[in-house]
Every structure is written in C-alpha cells, then in structure tokens.
Structure 1
Amino acid sequence: MLILTRPAIAAIESSLIANDKQGQGVRITAEAGCSGPKYSMRIEPDPAPHDTVVEIRDVRVFMDDGSATILAGATVDYSEDPDNFGFSFALALPTEEQASTCTSPKPAGGCGCGKPS
C-alpha cells in the first residue's frame, strides 16, 4: 500500500483545486532504472481499467501494475523547504519479487538491475 504524508495530500489537494480538477485523481508512475526508479505524477480524470487505486482523504492515486509493485509500501512526502522542494519518494525495503528483478553481478554492457546502460 502506498503511503501519502499529510503534506503530500495537502499539496495534491491544492493542485487539484488550483487546476479546477476536483474529483479527479493523480497518476503516479515508477519505472525501474540503473540508479533507482524514475517517478512521474500527473492529474487524470479516471483510472485505467487495470489500475490499482488508492484513496486517501479526497485524493485518488492511480498506478499501473508495474508502478504499484515498485511503490508497494513507499511513502510519498512533500516539502516546501527551498533545499528540498517538491515531492519525494521513500521506497520500502524490497519484497522478494522486487529483489528478484535486479540481477547481480552486473551483466556485461548493462547496469546493476539488468537494464541496458
């Protein structure tokens, strides 16, 4: 289950209101990469048919299966501190399934997680 901190919820709610998108949700995607996952967030009106949907207060989060696997147990926070401004993601310890997707040792011509470099 994805965890949103109170500041993250407030920032998402504020963004929905500021963009006149109340009632819509936010899609969070995570893609595995050599130096850790890459994240993106965007407002969308509805989830896709096979999305995982997490509802916290008035915030609906949509994730595809791959992103939901990477983000299982992750915490999303938000900060307005100038040195750390914006959303941040703290992943939970990897599950057995997540750990098995990373190959070791590093394959020739690739990175530590089996992705081409």
Structure 2
Amino acid sequence: MLILTRPAIGAIQSAMLQNDKAGFGVRIAAEGGCSGAKFSMRFEAEPLSEDVVIEIRDVRVFVDEASMDILRGATVDYTPDGDARGFNFTLDPETSLQSSCKSQPSETGTCGSASGRSCSCSASFQ
C-alpha cells in the first residue's frame, strides 16, 4: 500500500485543476540505483494494463510493478512552505532500498536521487 497524506492529496487535486487534468490520475514512479532511488510524478489519463491502481480520496494513483516494490508502505506528503516546498517520500523502514534526498524542481518532475530514507522534492506536474 502507498499512503498519501491529506496535504499531498490536496496538492495533487489543486495541480489537476490548474493544469486542466480533471479526471486524470497521477503516475508515481520510483527507480532504484547505486545511490538510492529517484522519484517522479506526472499526470496520465489512464493506467497501463500492468499498473497497480490505487484510489485515495478521489485521486487515482498509477504505479508500475517495479516502482511498487520500492514504494510499498511509503508515505507521500506535501509541504507548501518555503525552501521545503514540495513532495516528500518516506519509505517504509522495512523496505530494503532506503533513500534520502533534498532536491529542487526539474523539467521532468523527477524528485531526485536518494541515498537514505526520505526524498523531498517540488516536482512540477506536466
């Protein structure tokens, strides 16, 4: 299971409205590597056939199986303030891949690479 906090849900719903993406879902992807994980978020109209689809308070989340292995038990939060503004991924401590990073927004919405337990980012949705 993947957990989205109320602030994260609110930020996603707000971004959907601002980007004319009502009815879309949000794809959350995680990719492991030697230095930890990279996270990304983007809007998509429909899930792929092999995706895990999670519905949390009117937000549909699409996660591929490989990403789900990393994100299982993770919490996604959102901080609206200052330098910490953005999404924060906190992985389940039982997960073998743990990550930690602090990163700035990118063109692709990638949250950044990681090497500890949580990843903060201010991904811009496309």
Q: Tell me the TM-score normalised to structure 1 length.
A: 0.79
Q: Percent identity?
A: 61
Q: For residue 48 of structure 1, what is the aligned residue in structure 2?
A: 48
Unaligned 5+ runs, structure 2: 98-126
> Which of these two proteins has the greater Rg computed from alpha carbons?
1
Runs of 4+ with >4 A deviation: none
* AA at the equivalent of 1:77: D
Paired residues for 1:51-90 under 5 Å: 51-90=51-90
Shift of 1:82: 1.0
* AA at the equivalent of 1:73: G
SS at match of 2:84: coil
* AA at the equivalent of 1:36: G
SS at match of 1:13: helix
SS at match of 1:20: coil
Structure in which a larger fraction of residues adopt strand: 2
Q: Tell me the TM-score normalised to structure 2 length.
A: 0.73
SS at match of 2:94: coil
Q: For residue 92 of structure 2, what is the aligned residue in structure 1?
A: 92
CA-atom RMSD, angstroms? 1.5
Deviations 1:74-103 (A, max 9, x none): 0000001212110010000234xx46xxxx
* AA at the equivalent of 1:47: P
Q: For residue 16 of structure 2, what is the aligned residue in structure 1?
A: 16
Unaligned 5+ runs, structure 1: 100-117
Deviations 1:33-87 (A, max 9, x none): 2222100000000000010001001100000000011000000000012121100
* AA at the equivalent of 2:60: R
Residues 1:39 and 2:39 aligned together: yes
SS at match of 1:83: helix
Aligned length: 98
